[in-house]
Structure 1
């Protein structure tokens, strides 16, 4: 029987919720483009529950223990004395989330001789050293598309909140004021702006589709060019590289995976080529931008605003400079962990486990690494160091 080690974020500070704001979730028939929703044989949770925290356990305990497997769930993941490290040595399966990642470094993989499967409950498996996983023969899988629309909605929200200066205006209300001039002194219309996405995969394309009704000029760059029909439908301008695209934009939204080609992409040099007063929205990965270069660009006014949902490391330390830099709209990594998304990524995690235990192939679109090489979605989206 297998030992399954699951790392999830902590429960709410007020305790695991006994009730929820809504009684149900809308029913979805599938994902855009035709991919089916997760199809486990069964689930042991109510859709809309808080499944991504420790007490939620991704709804997996009954299923796993009924088959004789051991489930260890923890939020303690940092350092050699963490509960994660203590159990990793004999774990066969590790489940983690992008929002509270258990970093499976090469050193940790080397100390886990029984590890066969690393599952991301969500999208984005860069917290796993993919080169080390390939070398060790570890299969890496994630629940592709489960929260892509969730993230796309968050991106649009952040664009509007930054350009319209929503957060400071709301703070004026909380402080008991009515300072209209202060609120509007940094407020603009999105209409007519040039907005572009770095990568136009599931999330990036969903962002573009949602922005089309705002009467903006849409741009994108991606190593896989979209079909001409899609470009014409959305009025897209394609650019061969990020470096070529960003000087034309008022708003840049980053929707690319983290790999050697994207790490530290937005540095001082690239930021200097952008229009003064542009905005960056980053719900992809914190390491795609240079942390301190972003702070400098906001302080000098080169950037008018930066809204991000991703940091490095995660959770971010209390003294992380992004917490106090000017004109930011940072959130903890929540864009892909709405209660709606949790229902899908919990169900998808169970589907992956059902396939693994039954000896069936894991869905190709869920695979990142398999058989000692990048596979499935991983072969399309990632690159390795070697």
Structure 2
């Protein structure tokens, strides 16, 4: 029998919900590229309910315990004597989310003598040391595309919030004010601006498609150039590198995985080449940008705004400088954890577990590492011996 260790974020401060704002969420059968949404053999949860917190348990307890397996769920993942570290050595499977990552370092993987599978309930497995997973023959899988559109929507929302100066204007309304000049002194139209994405995979392409109707000029850079028909359809301008692209853009959004090519990419030097008053959106990974360089660029006016939801480490400490820097639109890491997305990534997590427990192949598009090598989506996004965290 298997022991499954699941690391999830805490329940709401007011207690686990008994009612919800909506009665249902739309059912998604297929994603824009034709990939089918998760198809587990069963599901023990209600779509639209909170599944990603400790009491939600990703809807896995009844399924696992009915088969005689053990499920341990905790939010305690860091510090000496954490529940995660105590339970890890004899766990067969570890599940966590990018929003509350259980950092599977090389040291932790070495100590996890029974570990065979690490699942990301969502997308983005940079909290797992992939080199160590390969060396110890630990399979790594994630629920590819389950929350890509959720993140893309958050990107578009963040762009509009910054460009239109929405957050300060909303604060003025809440505080009883009405000074129009205070609201509009930093407010512009997105129309006609040049917008570029670093990374044009599932999320990056979804962002581009959602921005096209705003009559903006679209740019992108990616290690894999898009087909010519997509470039023509969206009117895209391809750039060989971020350094080539960002000087042309009024808005830049980061939608790339964290690996040595992207870690620290947006440092002081690259930020200095951006247009004065440009906006930077990062829902990818915090370590793609230099923390202090971003703060300084906002303070100097090089950047007019910075938004996103990724921090390092996660959760971010209370004194993290991004919490108090000017003209930001940061949120906790929530872009891919809407209640709609949770239904998909919970179903995908169960689908992966069903396959693994029954000795059947895990979907190729879910695989990051398998058989001691990069596989599936991992082979497309990473290279051997690239350290992700």
Q: TM-score, normalised by structure 2?
A: 0.99
CA RMSD of aligned residues (A): 0.6
Q: Secondary structure in 2 aligned to 1:122?
A: coil
What's the counterpart of residue 106 of structure 1? 106
What's the counterpart of residue 121 of structure 2? 121
Q: Secondary structure in 2 aligned to 1:28?
A: coil
What's the counterpart of residue 148 of structure 2? 148
C-alpha separation between the residues in 1 aligned to 2:32 and 2:18?
33
Find runs of 4+ consecutive structure 1 residues off by over 6 angstroms.
none
Cα deviation, 1:100-124, whole Å, max 9, x if unaligned, reads 0000000100110100000000000
Q: Is the 8 A contact 1:260 1:384 kept in 2?
A: no
What's the counterpart of residue 193 of structure 1? 193
Post-superposition shift, 1:79? 1.8
Q: Is the 8 A contact 1:260 1:385 kept in 2?
A: no
What's the counterpart of residue 288 of structure 1? 288
Cα deviation, 1:23-47, whole Å, max 9, x if unaligned, reads 0111223100100000000000011
Alignment of 1:90-105 (within 5 A): 90-105=90-105
What's the counterpart of residue 338 of structure 2? 338
Q: Secondary structure in 1 aligned to 2:329?
A: coil
Count of aligned pairs between the two proteins: 386
Post-superposition shift, 1:80? 3.1
Alignment of 1:144-223 (within 5 A): 144-223=144-223
Cα deviation, 1:123-166, whole Å, max 9, x if unaligned, reads 00000000110101000000000000000000000000000000
Q: TM-score, normalised by structure 1?
A: 0.99
What's the counterpart of residue 18 of structure 1? 18
What's the counterpart of residue 258 of structure 1? 258
What's the counterpart of residue 34 of structure 2? 34
C-alpha separation between the residues in 2 aligned to 1:91 and 1:186?
52
Q: Secondary structure in 2 aligned to 1:159?
A: helix
Unaligned runs of 5+ in 1: none
C-alpha separation between the residues in 1 aligned to 2:131 and 2:243?
27
C-alpha separation between the residues in 1 aligned to 2:334 and 2:145?
16
C-alpha separation between the residues in 2 aligned to 1:259 and 1:80?
28
C-alpha separation between the residues in 2 aligned to 1:287 and 1:179?
38
Q: Secondary structure in 2 aligned to 1:19?
A: coil
C-alpha separation between the residues in 1 aligned to 2:27 and 2:55?
25
Post-superposition shift, 1:260? 1.1
C-alpha separation between the residues in 2 aligned to 1:385 and 1:365?
21
Q: Is the 8 A contact 1:64 1:70 kept in 2?
A: yes
